[in-house]
Structure 1
Amino acid sequence: MYYLLHKLPGLVLWLLLLSTYTFAQNHTKTDSLKRKLHDVSDNKEKLLVYNTLAREYSNQLDSTQTLLYANLALNLAKQTNNPQAALKAHSQIGWLLLFTGYYAKAKARAHHMLTIVQKHPHFKNHSNVYNLLGAIEEHQGNYNPALEAYKQALQIAQQIKDTKGIGVYCGNIGNVYESLGNIQQALHYHQKALNFAQASGNQKGMSANYNNLALTFQTLGDYPQALAYYQKSLRIKEKLKHLPGIAKTLHNIGILYENQLNYTEAIAYFHRSLKVDQQLNDRRGVAQSYSAIGGIYDKQQQYDTALVYYQKSLKLSTQIGDKSTIAHSKLLLGNLMITQKKYTQAFNYLRQALELYQKLGEQPLIAEVFLHLAKALHHQQKYSQALAQANKGVTLARQTKQPQLLKAGAEIRAKIHKTMGNYQGAYQDYHLFKQMTDSLLNIGNAQKIAHLKTKYAYEKKQDSLHWAHAQEKSLFVELTNHRRTVQNSTYALLVLLLLLLLVVIRFYRSKQKNNQQLNALNQALNTAHEHLKKQTRARLQEAQARANAETKNLQNEINYRNQQVTTHTLHMLQKNQTLKQLRTLINEMRQQKNFSKAKKMCQKLVNLIDQGLNMDKDWESFHQVFDQLHPDFYQKLKYQYPSLTKNDLQVCALLRLNLNTKDISDLMGIAPDSVKMQRYRLRKKLEIASDQDLNEFMIMFDPTITVTHAA
């Protein structure tokens, strides 16, 4: 399992690739398309239905039906000279060949598609051809050609402004960079792909890119961050009710927990994934879930249960013709048989796995199978055959640059040499084993440092090479010291973690209880506050209503008093006019010599005098009404200015009513010049400047003094 464990991130990426082409939830769409096919007579529309059916059956991984409808589309496209429809059909067949492990045929199909594109340069969107080529190369471990193909697809998508395609191809490029160990570039492209998916509102694309970011952080060893991204991806898929995607994400989370040796959570997620795959009738997904569950039981040394699940996986993958999964299942079964000391069965399973991997061209896996065959033959005491298999495995491990396999091969070969009595060979292989162990340790430390550095650059986005170099040195020293002291500190750390966990649990419970009490108290306070607000609002409204009523009454009273003052003022004006008429009449009588006319004038004079006598009461009434309207005005003014006479106070009252000189002269029955003289004297008594208006002074006069009334 050496190479498989090392290749685990690649296998997860393969699961993600499969999630793009998963089973339909039901056969409703295919049945509808078949019915439509009988009613279609137009060749162009018939081509569309053929290709759609091929795609739907490809999603269901029904190779027979996919090939049937894709070939029908190809034949009709050839008859009607429709190369674009032919490209779509070739694409369906190419992806199916890839999924079923026929890489050479899939690659040949993709190159044939490129030939069609070259004959028709007006085809603008042929990025999917390069995407297929990239997927084929990536699955075979040819990462540089895969990267080149994906970048070509990205360039075409950018030229035609295919936003969705740009996001997909950036994600694929990120996956390849991750496989190449360039985590910084992988994060860059995954983030770029996520941005495009978010900008276009592509929920499925966002979910896929969250998966890719999760895988990258899983590679970095940042399992909490990886889990957070997986959960984001899962929430989107659950919202979209995308069951195939849900199954794959659950499977990936299971692998994440398996990497952390949390087998309880891992097997729980694998079972959840299995349940969804069974609901979809996704036989490949079911087979992979069986294999994953069997692997957990194998690690827990529950070999009988592991065997059941491995055999279920093998049976299903054989039914659907998935050579890659078949080979993987046989390899797992072979290893399990070695563990159970059933070496003959182990040898048979491993030989079958070897034949399949040789057909698939999976060189690292071929090397791993050679080493497991050597182990089985060694236990059967077939030392020469075991050594031959081990030599093949070690040679192939060197050629494919697989240090893990080379280390395992050296260890197996050293044991075989020792058993055969070849101590010099055993010593050489043991030396190689130690050399590879130290090399892998150094590589692992270097990778940890590089991963931590990349993670820091991604999260902080700071460009400080000096600081990064210092961090790198610091981390290297820290890792070295940790390696030296880990054995002494492990038990103490476990105890501390247990104590910390107990403290955290107690603190959490206490905090939860306090939060509940605070919530209850806040709720009670809010209720009381609302009640108080309602009471205050009601009281304010009631007080406002009373104030408005009182203001209205006062305003009415003021209006009434003003009307009375105005009436009295008019009466006084009329009286003074009468007196003026009286004066004029007397002057005329003096000059009149006719007795008859003089008698009439006398009668008229009597009438005017009677009228004037009635008006004498007006000044008294005026003062009463004025005093009600302006209470204590006379007393306050007299108190502050004692030199004022009764006549002065009368003039002051008329000035407060804002009457002019002519009106005052008429009311008081004196000449306007006399009024002016009185105004002048008032200014001197009141000590008012010449530039200040006397009327305004009287209107604004309201000294804040207390007047004591006589008893």
Structure 2
Amino acid sequence: MRFLVGLLLGWGLLLPDGWAQVDTLRSLSPDRRLLAICRETLRWHIMTTHARNSFADSTTAIRWLDSVRTLALEQQDERLFWYATLQQFVSRVVAEKRLHKPITMLRAAEGRMAQCPVPAVRGTYYIYYGEWLLHQGKLEEALRWLFRARNLFEEIGYDHIPEAHQYLSTLGSIYYSFSDYRRSVQYYEQAQRYPNPGLAVDYTNWNTLGMAYLRLEQYKLAEQAFRQVIRRAKAAGDTAYEGIGYGNLGNTLRLSGKPREALPYLYKEVALNYRRVPESAAQTSLYIAKALLALDSTEKAWRYLAHPNRALLGVRWSNYPLDYFEVMALYYRKMGDLEQGARFIDSAVVLKDSMLAVRTSTLLTTADNTQKAEKYLNNLSRIETEKQWGITTRNIVILALLLIGALVLYAIRQKQRRLEQERTLLAEQRRQAEAELAHAQVQLVQYVRSLSAKNQLVEQMMNELALARQHLADPLPSQSDSIRTLLTSVILTDKDWLQFRQLFEQAHPGFLQQLRQTYGELSPAEVRLLTLLKLEVPTKQMAFMLGVSPDSIHKSRYRLRKKLGSLGDTYLQGLFEAS
């Protein structure tokens, strides 16, 4: 009931006694007229809280609100009429003392408020209902109503709601209670953009905002907020809240690494609230102990730890037990009693786990998402009210899906065709490359065979010439000239070698390039020799092709093997086999 209680406390301090005359409302603007009703009815709520016969007292309020409704009808002020109606109902709820009766009454009014044509009034009802549910511990249901109010207010626009400041502050308080400090700060800061019409004691909101800043470790902003609390509470004469402001300001300075500066403010809180708000003073005593321990003043710290608030130690939702365990662990570590310190640390860990299980923002997020879904479904239901438009929309969607499906199918088939064409092209290129390689190998073999045939012919003629020399004193000159001509045609000239190398590289691609990369110091003659070795050309034929003797070939091979070494032989053997 943060919203209602905040209004009760704040308005009770600001409002004069006695009901405002209905005639006075005629001279006010619509917004001020609305605020006047809220002031008067909530002043009565404060009195009803302490009245013995609340039902008898409620009669006066309800009669006065009847007069306001009559005025609203005369002025044709629909919003005023429904606000007065809502306040009549809330007055009956507040007058009901039994614990569960208000919830029953609020739930029974749901149908009536659903018919209300003024969205801001419906949102206010949602706020009241959600706060009562929250007070009764019905968290999930409470948050559902509170978020419905939030969504409705955001749809209306806070600029059109006179109480925007208080509604936004209420949302900030709710988010803070569920440890969603960033959203809490967001709503409190948004609330500050709208004027506070004097409906609440604003230093309570400043205090919660400061605590949210503190949780987010935004110490400068927290310090500014708590100084506002002290100044505003002092101006209102609220000594208890002034003390709370001092305590929170001191704790902020302590957490920001200024324990010595923090102590005067913390001492002042304990002095002011030792009797007024003992729970707050007990919490601040722990902050004093932490500050003193940070200054290594263990003896003074023990004075604030020796007599803890036993009642607060049993309250699981309070921060006091956790802070107490943590500061006791720190104290015993400072005293060198590590075993006792470890016990308090274990207690703190267990308590923190149990607190996290209760104070989780999961429920808040779930309710938020539920409201987003509900908002979406409401929008969808408005569309579906027009049947023909719904059918047309469905048909358009189906047609669009079919079109998208057809386009996707077409794109897939086009891609398959492109892939098939690419595969066909690659296969054709591979076949062409294989054909070219086979043709080159055939040409190379034919070229080598031609040279081999010439070599055999030269060798045969030389043998015949040698035989003729044995029988004839002087062989025929024409025979010697033919042999020389044939020898010249067998020896590979530079031009012949260029043609031979082109054929060789086509038949054995990469061989010469890899050879040059591995053994760059090879001479052109050695490269030719290795090329012929690759083709397994016999030594005698190599001699004819290179224009040297077979002994020179043997010597060249020997020098080449020595130059390359044993590893070279292995490498060349692998190269010959691979290429």
Would the TM-score normalized by the shorter structure come out above 0.5? Answer: no
Q: TM-score, normalised by structure 2?
A: 0.45
Q: TM-score, normalised by structure 1?
A: 0.37
Which is higher, the Rg of structure 1 or of structure 2?
Answer: 1
Using CA pairs below 8 Å that are at least 6 residues apart, which structure has the higher relative contact order?
2
